[in-house]
Amino acid sequence: ISNPFIGGADKLPDGVTYTNIPIEFKDLTQLATTIKSPEEAKQFLVDTNRSFVTDPVRRAGFKQVLSDIAASDGVQLFHCTSGKDRTGWTAMLLQSIAGVPAQTIMDDYLLSNTYLQATNEKILAQISQALSPQVATNLEPALGVDASYLEAGLAQIASDYGTVDGYLTEGLGLTPDTIALLKAKLVD
């Protein structure tokens, strides 16, 4: 939450209710010690997106995020450390519930590379200086998104649950009423 590479702790306006729903993820320091090539970084994110489907603890976290959004009134904001992996997955689920076409969902997901470009350049420069240029090269794919990352999670959904709706109901255990509440909030 307070990772200095990503910008530090959240700065919230008065009156905002803050809820931390931890969906475990390695931070850059951990990745810097384990990722030894750009290909390993890409594989890490492919595997991470698959785990959003296969890991029961991560599924429970996504269930709580979606349930909290459904049960809360007013404007909602959700994010993760970088706003691209867990946030991208949550956004994909919400967009799917709202009936957004798959290509639009992917296009929106890939926009993270545009919006994070300046931040990622600063992070890579810090990593290069603090650790080494090679470590920065190795981690670069982990700072962005690639269609293959989201596609891996979607393929896992297809394999395990058939459809996103199956994942929502069987994988996450969301009730039809919760999904209907989410859809009403997103479509209205």
What is the model's pTM? 0.89
On the 0-12 / 13-18 / 19+ scale of CB atoms within 10 A, 8 is exposed
Q: Which helix (H) or strand (E) holds 124?
A: helix 102-130
CA dihedral 28, 86, 43, 113 (to 10 degrees): -80
Which pLDDT score, from 0 to 100, does residue 95 have? 97
Which CATH number describes the domain made up of 34-187?
Answer: 3.90.190.10
Is residue 21 within 8 Å of residue 64, measured between CB atoms? yes
- CA distances 81 to 27, 148, 151, 158, Å, are 9, 20, 21, 27
What are the boundaries of each domain within the chain?
A: 34-187
Q: Taking Cα atoms as reference points, which of 45, 120, 32, 114 lies closest to residue 86?
A: 45
Give 173's contacts (C-beta < 8 A, 6+ positions apart): 63
Token code pair at residue 50: 């698959």
- What per-residue confidence (pLDDT) applies to 75? 80
Contact 160, 55 (CB under 8 A): no
The pLDDT averaged over each successive group of 10 residues in the chain (188 residues) is 59 79 72 90 96 96 95 81 86 97 97 94 93 95 95 98 98 97 91
Supply the pLDDT for residue 7: 58
Q: H helices within 131-172, ranges in order?
A: 133-143, 147-161, 164-166
Q: Do residues 179 and 167 touch, judged by C-beta distance below 8 A?
A: no
Q: What is the pLDDT of residue 13?
A: 80
Q: Which residues are catalytic?
A: 80
3-state secondary structure at position 148: helix
Look at residue 5 in the predicted model and tell me its pLDDT.
54
Task: Confirm if 63 and 173 have CB atoms less than 8 A apart.
Answer: yes
Query: What letter would DSSP give residue 168?
Result: I
